A and B are shown apart, each in its own frame.
Chain A
Amino acid sequence: MFYREAGQFKSSYKEDQAIFPILQDRIGMGIILLIAFVGIPLFTGDYFIGAIMTPFLILALAAIGLNILTGYAGQISLGTGGFMAVGAFAAYKFATFTFTFGGFEGTMPLVITILLSGVMAALVGIMFGIPSLRIKGFYLAVATLAAQFFIEWVFIKVGWFTNYSPSGVITAPPLIIMGYEFDTAAEKYLFTLTFVAILALAAKNLVRSHIGRGWMAIRDMDIAAEIIGFKPLQTKLSAFAVSSFFCGVAGALWAFVHLGTVEPEAFGINRSFAILFMVIIGGMGSILGSFIGAAFIMLLPIFLNNVPPMIGWNIGVDMVAHLEFMVFGVLIIFFLIVEPHGLARLWTIGKEKLRTWPFPY
């Protein structure tokens, strides 16, 4: 079947505003979801699922979070790791909190724990978003470093957050929903996938709503946005809140599902940078781009670690690390030169060409 929209007429604005207005895209998305939910757990191994797919999905979620703030609302943030840490440690505190309710003693349900930890991250995000009203551009980027370092420091220094664990490390409780424990790699993967799929859809809906348009308006020209009636405070802080919510949930999943035991250093400045790269390389202002970027940044080190030995080139481990840095740097520059708007843009351009192929005029 050709990639064509000829013959697909839209008779209502509702159809025109669907996420995938073209039939072929809908089919494609269906196939991807089918592979993700059925194919991967059935036909791939634990290593692929546990060490690649699950972290990929979680990082993609964090990248969506940062993309909302940086790509859509135009506020550069270097504090993503900090907000993820808030999510992780909040989830830990909620999960280890035992409450008594009319003689019944119990802990909070897992899903609510994770969502609440996102809410906590959102609150912290709002707090650190307040300076964005006065501080703009690169100055703001530097200001978000304050969030990054301060939050990291708090979790290292304040014992309460780790329940006074002497090593400063927290261990996540088992993942139990309604008495069922998610403990194999495939189950954990499906758990993560469900979260990520639902939240990605929510993000997509949000950015095409009037709220998302407000973010983009502030990004493209903040003065004009204010003059046509967007309140800068509300618009910017809502972007910080939603973005931090996503990062917080990603942090909680990273701690509970992927790592199991976590120390604050897992959410250091390098994490923030890695997620920023995902957004840049994938495409700013694109939800799809967040996934592509995350996949790219995840796969590159694996690729670099495996290729030299494969072609019979034996180099030391630290040499690989240095080479990784170099290749990484070169690739970032390369992508920026080839397509400053990221891989997602290449995808869109490709689709547009395909639509009119073979007669582009």
Chain B
Amino acid sequence: MSAVRAEWTKLRSVPRWVATFLGALVLTVGLSALAASGSTTDANEHPDFVTGPHGDAVTDGFGFAHQAVTGDTTMTVHVTGLARAATERAESGAPGTAVPTTPWTDIAAGITLKAGTEAGSSYVSVLLTGSHGVRLQGDFTHDVAGSAAHGDRWLRLTRTGGTVTGYESADGTSWTRIGALTPAAIPPRAEIGMAVSAAPVLHVSRGGGGSSVGGHPGRASATFEDVTLEPATDGTWQGTAVTMPTPADQPAKVGGSTAPTPRVLTASGDTSTVTGSGKVGPQRPDDDVVEGALLGVVAGLMALICVGVLFGTSEYRRGMIRTTFAATPRRGRVLAAKALVLGGAAFAVSLVAVVVAFVVAVPILQDHGMAPPAFPSPSLGDPAVVRALVLAALFMTGVTLVALAVGMLLRRTAPAITLTIVLLVLPLVAGTILPGTSPRWLMYTTLAGGLATLRAQPPTDTLAEPWALIGPGAGIGVVASYAAVGLALAWWQLRRRDA
């Protein structure tokens, strides 16, 4: 305890270090605000989304062979032969690396109950996907996983009052319930039918200082057999391509070639083949408002690294370490006290810095177009925001502790600061130059990965910033490992080496 108080006195009694802590705060907030005012987007003026039942940005496009039903109903199908269209497979030699699919961006075929054929309307679907098994999805946000089956599956969707339940079966006789959803706005009279979707195939090309994302529309078809509808209707299946509205000021773009749109529904006997193109799901931009509001962290870290290293190396100038060890002979305790004091101070300063940066920069970003509906509006109460802010402060703390450990290990200021900054920043620069997703391993192995903590959105391959390739947990894990290993090495060396 006395060692902690001694280290605290050392830290606060050097005016330059106190000033540097304040500098870290000012740099974090200032640069965040500056970077925010340098960010603009026209995502709301030229939307590539429609507004979903919950008011968020969604995309809605698929092939729908449907008829109207009223009230409670049950539909059963047997889905086989879900595959991408042949023309599309030929195109897959596109540049860059294919972005891995999610349950929302995979090809899918199944039963959809939907308020109407207008894009963005409320729906529930039970779907067999290409590689994410069976899913029960609804209203562009809810996603319940079923079995991991693929290729051939019986599916059933039952509407009972306001609730829609999904079932699956391998043989059409023994059924497993997947789950139930309550859609936001499906009127009593709604459309039900066979649906096939295929999200655009994205290829990301990274390297040479930036990233570019290319995509071409996806197209898939599937065969439906043994289609039954209870109670039976006298209607017939009607094929409709549900599509996103074309912006008024843009000509309709058809990816690559202007091939005629194939028929949605081809029926032969008991077998129906449905072809669809488009994605049904959330259309959140990868750009992260929270991250955009915290970019100053990179600059604040520079100041913190400076203090962290100096707090370590200053012991070795003018032999102060001998005085320190004379006062507290247990060296491990000295190091623990140093880490505790520096870490505590760094965390307090960082937390204040990121919260202020968030409060200052988010309104600036929203002024510059990063506003609803295209972008979510983050608030200090959101769990994802709280997580990002706390992890960002911990990230800054971790880097400061790494700086302390490096300073104690190298005992010299210039190499220690250089090494820490290089470990933090150079992988970012390298990450934009290296091609493909190879920067991912750089993020998993260097301090730069810690920047993933700034993001509230899930990881993505499509952004230029390499840290978006990994999740916040991995990011803070890398930094924590560095800090732990660094401090352990410093501890070991302190005990072994002469002062």
Partners in one complex: no
B interface residue numbers (CB < 8 A to A): none
